[in-house]
Structure 1
Amino acid sequence: MFKFKSPSRKTLEVMSEVAKGNGDKDFEEICIGKIQSLTHKDNVRMTSSGNNSIFIALSSVEGDIIVPDEGAWHGFRQIAKFLNKNLITVKTDDGLIDTDYLDNLEISDDSALIFTSFAAYTAEQDVKAINRYCRNNGILTIEDASAGVGDREGRLGCKSDIILASTGSPKIINVGSGGFVACDEDEIFKKTSLPQKLSKTTNVVCSGIDSELDNVSEKLELSLNATEHIKKHIPDTLHASKRGLNVIIPHENAKSICWNLKKTLTTDKSGMITTCPNYNRVKQRAICVEIKNLDYSCLKKENLEKIIEEVNNQLQV
């Protein structure tokens, strides 16, 4: 049995001490400083959840909200509709944004494109190209970097106009709740003072985020390397050459294969196998092995080999 990702013991101990009233550090301010360094943004607000971070970011947009047609987070669409924003869907290549597709859209002024650092968690977006196109065409970019914070390559979680993240489970910064929004333009926060007030988090949560931020880059790298190893040893994976945090295998018999894998690749809490079609992943039939859900202690070679063996066995049936 594999272990589902949870906050580290150190993080839980720090949060426990703060909850008991021990210490007088302002962890919110400490987190803001660390996130400014990671995202290269001047302004940061801590929030109570990733969805509240999205709510704040989308509340600042006057024009249309552009979302990928798959491989994103369904909350983008739900929150945009709740805010009564005009929603535009851009075609993708299995979740990857090709800016040529944006040329075919009628987009109003002051619009924004919101996307995740990794399409369907399985393939790194070309954030540099996306931002270059959007800046040349007056489109704000909002990157949900819940899975991209701390990228050692410096390509994710720092290039877009607004960087936001969830620090809930099982994200890279894993506290169980919380999130943040980061940007350079202070005007964005001036326009969203009310949703910010409704999304305050606690010093306890911020103490956990502070602890998790200390080794976020190492944890992301470990997960990326594990996924890369598995992709190399399972045939016909989607976006096989791209960095990612899960493995997606298109297959006509995905439903039955996933059913069987859920019996053999078990975790102590939520599962690690997702069945597609699924907007948050891909809209075709596929098996998704969620490496991002696994505790870092499970990302050892012998465990990765078991995943490879079980998946390949099912694909050959």
Structure 2
Amino acid sequence: MFKFKTPSKKTLEIMSKVAKGEISDDFEVKCEDKISELTSHEFAKVTSSGNNSIFIALSAIEGDIIVPDQGGWHGFKQIAKYLNKNIITVKTDLGLINPTEMDDLDIKENSALIFTSFAGYTAEQDTKAISKYCKSNSITTIEDASAGIGDNENKLANGSYSDIIIASTGSPKMVNVGSGGLISTNDKEVFEKSKMPQKLSKTNNIVCSGIDSELDLVRKNLEVSLNATKHLKNSMNKAIHKNKRGVNVIIPSDDAKEISWNLKRSLPIDKSGFITTCPNYNRVKTKAIAIELKNLSYDCLEKQNIEKIINELKANNLH
């Protein structure tokens, strides 16, 4: 049986000690220093959730909010709508953003593009190209790096490219604490313009201690996830964005619903799940099955377990 991802033993122990009053360190300050180090941004804050991080970021934007037509996070549109922002949708290649697609869009000044590090969790965005285009067109870039923070190649969650970086630290993200979030930027005005949302999204020292601990592990954990996904993709000729780095594998299928039930029976997990179906704005808007390796315990990402998943996918003609 596969296991759903949980915080590391070290993280749980530290959080327990903080809750019992055995440790009284100010973990919020420690977290902010580590976030800045990871993102190369001068300013960083811990929040109560990823959605609150999005709320803070979008609150600081005066113009339009540009979102991908798929492969993003539905919270982008929900929060922008709540803030009465004008939403502009950019066409993508199954979630991957080609910045020139924005050439013909009527975009106001002081607008922002918000996107995830991995389109649908399955393919890394070209953050360098996106950044170059947006900087030359005065568009703020907001990267949701919930799955991309800690990238050893420094292509994702890199403050040299993205003006604002946000992330959830809930379950089962790369920084996996169960709750909380983060936001970083080099633009001090972002935090000056969003003081009220920041006050409403404060979290406690217990959560901060967990985030602090998980940040120490995130580079290694992301690399393990990327390698496992690469191995699975290499065996799946039909996989969407097969040659792109990602933390899940999405395979087109006209019988996605029926096959997903077969896979859930043959690949049981202790709780929640790691097999989902599309169309889904957060993944791709086509019939497909998503194998969410990012949801699995790192112990389950060893080669023999990936081979088991491959065999079951082949048995269902998904290769």
TM-score by length of 2: 0.98
Tell whether the 8 Å contact from 2:238 to 2:318 is kept in structure 1 after alignment: no
Amino acid paired to 2:222: L
Deviations 1:10-59 (A, max 9, x none): 10000000000112210000011111100000001110000000000000
Q: Is the 8 A contact 1:72 1:280 kept in 2?
A: yes
Unaligned runs of 5+ in 1: none
Q: Identify the residue that residue 251 of structure 1 maps to in structure 2.
A: 253
Tell me the distance in 2 between the aligned counterparts of 1:147 and 1:191: 27
Percent pairwise identity: 63
User: Partner residue of 1:50?
Assistant: 50
Aligned partner (choices 202, 226, 239) of residue 237 of structure 1: 239
1:28-107 correspondence to structure 2 within 5 Å: 28-107=28-107
Of 201, 205, 208 in structure 2, the residue corresponding to residue 206 of structure 1 is 208
Asked if 2 retains the 8 angstrom alpha-carbon contact of 1:265 and 1:272, the reply is: no
In 2, the alpha carbon distance for the partners of 1:292 and 1:24 equals 32
The aligned counterpart of 1:264 is 266
Q: Which residue of 2 aligns with 1:290?
A: 292
Q: How do 1:151-162 and structure 2 match up within 5 A?
A: 151-158=151-158, 159-162=161-164
Runs of 4+, deviation exceeding 6 Å: none
- Alpha-carbon distance in 2 for matches of 1:24, 1:258: 47
- Name the residue aligned to 1:178: 180
Does the 8 Å CA contact 1:257/1:315 hold for their aligned counterparts? no
Partner amino acid, structure 2, of 1:192: S
CA contact 2:53–2:167 (8 Å) conserved in 1: yes
SS in 1 for 2:92: coil
For the aligned residue pairs, the C-alpha RMSD in angstroms reads 0.9
- The answer to whether the 8 Å contact 1:167/1:177 transfers is yes
Q: 1:139 & 1:316 partners in 2: Cα distance? A: 40
Structure 1 distance, partners of 2:230, 2:97, is 21
> Aligned partners of 1:201 and 1:85: how far apart in 2?
26
Distance 1:270 1:23 in 2: 32
Contact 1:238 1:249 survives alignment (8 Å): yes
Number of matched residues? 317
Corresponding residue for 1:169?
Answer: 171
* Residue aligning to 1:14: 14
CA–CA separation in structure 1 for the residues paired with 2:318 and 2:229:
21
Q: Residue type matched to 1:197 in 2?
A: K
CA separation of 1:208/1:316 partners in 2, compared to 1, >3 Å: closer, same or farther? Answer: closer
One of 272, 277, 290 as aligned partner of 2:279 = 277
SS in 1 for 2:4: coil
Q: How far did 1:316 drift?
A: 6.5
- For residue 93 of structure 2, give the secondary structure of its aligned residue in structure 1: coil
Q: Quote the Cα distance in structure 2 between the aligned partners of 1:305 and 1:108.
A: 49
Where do 5+ consecutive residues of structure 2 fail to align?
none
Contact 1:68 1:115 (8 Å CA) reproduced: yes
The residue matched to 1:237 in structure 2 has which SS?
coil
One-letter code aligned to 1:227:
T
For residues 118-151 of structure 1, the C-alpha deviation after alignment (integer angstroms, 9 at most, x for no partner) is 0000000000000000000010000000001110
Amino acid at match of 1:287: I
Alignment partner, residue 128 of structure 1: 128
